[in-house]
Amino acid sequence: MTSARKVRLRPWRDDWGSGGPDSAAYKSFVEDMTYRWGVICQACDSTLDNEAGLAEVAGKLFNLAGASRGDKAATIDEAKYKVFRRKESAKLGLDLEDGSD
């Protein structure tokens, strides 16, 4: 990886879940539709960085947060990507050693 973009994105779901705000289906929808930090390649960023921020990548629909559109997403290199992975792994209680990333 030479460079990539650090963005906030989410997979897109068309179904809103059924049964109202207390149902498991709706709670699942809300969880799935929460924007999360991710690192994507430049080509995927170019595809998603449109007015709606919605596009198909690898056969699935994704939605790019407004704050990551308009060429506002940070460009990162491999060193910054490794730092990002370590921080995200630490949130899960995992410790990435130098040789494993």
In the chain, where are the structural domains located? 4-100
Burial class of 43 by CB neighbour count within 10 A (0 to 12, 13 to 18, 19+): exposed
Query: Does residue 17 surpass a pLDDT of 80?
Result: no
Higher per-residue confidence, 22 vs 7: 7
Which of 1-10, 65-74, 80-89 reaches the highest mean pLDDT? 65-74
pLDDT at 1: 63
Say if pTM beats, i.e. exceeds, 0.85. no
Residue 78 pLDDT grade (very low, low, confident, very high; cuts 50, 70, 90): very high
Which residue in the block uniquely carries the two structure tokens 């430049």?
42
Instruction: Provide the pairing of β-strand 4-11 with 60-64.
Output: antiparallel
Burial class of 44 by CB neighbour count within 10 A (0 to 12, 13 to 18, 19+): buried
Higher per-residue confidence, 1 vs 73: 73
Residue 77: both structure tokens together = 């290199």
